[in-house]
Structure 1
Amino acid sequence: MYFAALLARTQDGWEASDTELDDVETLSDLTDLARDASVDEDTVLVFIEQEDAWFGIVRVEGEEDPRVFVSDALPAARSSYGEILTNELLGRDDDDPADDLDTLDLDGTEDGEPDDPDDLNSSADGADSPAAGDTAPAGPIGDQDILADLGLSRRELLALESDALPEIADALGASEILETVR
């Protein structure tokens, strides 16, 4: 189960709204959603949390590129919305067919792929290769200073575990506002 919310900074403080992610398929879609919630191109934070597994923050300011943080890339990469964030942070573009073509040898096999189909699931030492979805590192990835100027240091962000969004909102002075949409 996911929880997603937008916090938009205004002259009067923070405004919160819950958000549906049904139409979000890319980081660009998420960024557009945040920009639509922005007042005068001020800071907008998008929070996404999946139960006790992981949380992600996307920070959008005007037309600048979004800043992204994910608390634990491995479980996030295995979820639909987390995959959007981790793919961006790891430089992957699953929707780009050119990426697939660039990795093919002239014989049609991928770079580093064994020619013998029986060798596809084993490595040189006989151990099974990780599945494609297991290539994300365990632990936090992204901009660890994403909230530093807003009152939550890198150290505090990295110390957060499950149900982190209320603690983040408290550090931002927006806990009451976040609770209204939770």
Structure 2
Amino acid sequence: MYFAALLARTEEGWEASDTELDDVETLTDLADLAREAAIDDDTVVALIEQEGTWFGVVRVEGEDDPRVFLSDAAAAARSSYGAMLTDELLGRDSNEADELDSLDLDGTEDGEPETEPENIDDDLAGGPVPHGPLGDARLLEDLGVGEKELLGLEGDALSEIADALGCTDVLETVR
């Protein structure tokens, strides 16, 4: 199961909204969703996690390209939303991963048993996916979450990020 939230920075602090990813198929879709939540083209941070297995942070500012960080690329590549972000970070064409279109949110094909191929990292993402963090680990540095801190997050990472941003209560209202 996924949890996703958008945190939009305002003059008064942060506003959070629960985010449905049902219509998100690309990073561009996610960035557009974040831009809709933005106040005056200010910073929006999308937080995504899958049951403590991996988390992702996408930072969008105005029309700039989104900045992305994944805590564990190999684990993320096993899920449809994580694979979308992993492919973007690795510069893969979305057409290379067309088999993801038939995946459920748990990463299995409709009607298929939940068994993993021997090397799921290669099979789902069109080639090897690095184990461990991937992306811009400095994307929250100016907001109080440095690279070393982001790379060291474990457990309830999204709450720790929200705490550092000063918006724990805001995030908890949408959980």
> Aligning the two structures, in what range does the TM-score lie when normalised by the shorter sequence?
0.7 to 0.9
Residue 20 of structure 2 corresponds to 20
Please give the alpha-carbon distance, in whole angstroms, between the structure 1 residues aligned to 2:134 and 2:122. Answer: 20
Q: Secondary structure at the match of 1:95?
A: helix
CA apart distance, 1:95 = 2.0
Partner amino acid for 2:52? D
- Kept after mapping to 1: 8 A contact 2:145/2:164: yes
CA apart distance, 1:52 = 1.5
Residues 1-16 of structure 1 aligned to structure 2 (within 5 Å): 1-16=1-16
Residues 68-107 of structure 1 aligned to structure 2 (within 5 Å): 68-95=68-95
Q: Secondary structure at the match of 1:92?
A: coil
- Kept after mapping to 1: 8 A contact 2:6/2:47: yes
Alignment equivalent of 1:168, drawn from 161, 166, 172:
161
Structure 2: tracts of 5 or more residues without a match:
98-118
Residue 29 of structure 2 corresponds to 29
Residues 11-160 of structure 1 aligned to structure 2 (within 5 Å): 11-95=11-95, 131-133=122-124, 135-160=128-153
Percent of paired sites with the same residue? 67
Partner amino acid for 1:84? M
CA apart distance, 1:163 = 1.7
Moved beyond 4 Å, runs of 4+: none
Which digits, 9 at most, give the CA deviation of each residue in 1:4-28, with x for residues without a partner?
0000000110000001000000000
1:96–1:78: structure 2 CA closer, same or farther, 3 Å change rule?
closer
| Larger-gyration structure (1/2) | 1
Structure 1: tracts of 5 or more residues without a match:
98-127
Please give the alpha-carbon distance, in whole angstroms, between the structure 2 residues aligned to 1:162 and 1:88. Answer: 25
Please give the alpha-carbon distance, in whole angstroms, between the structure 2 residues aligned to 1:174 and 1:35. Answer: 19
CA apart distance, 1:71 = 0.3
- Kept after mapping to 2: 8 A contact 1:152/1:172: yes
- Kept after mapping to 1: 8 A contact 2:138/2:147: yes
1:143–1:131: structure 2 CA closer, same or farther, 3 Å change rule?
closer
CA apart distance, 1:131 = 3.7
Please give the alpha-carbon distance, in whole angstroms, between the structure 1 residues aligned to 2:48 and 2:145. Answer: 17
Partner amino acid for 1:26? T
Please give the alpha-carbon distance, in whole angstroms, between the structure 1 residues aligned to 2:129 and 2:40. Answer: 36
| TM-score normalized by the length of structure 2 | 0.83
Which digits, 9 at most, give the CA deviation of each residue in 1:152-172, with x for residues without a partner?
111110000122000000000
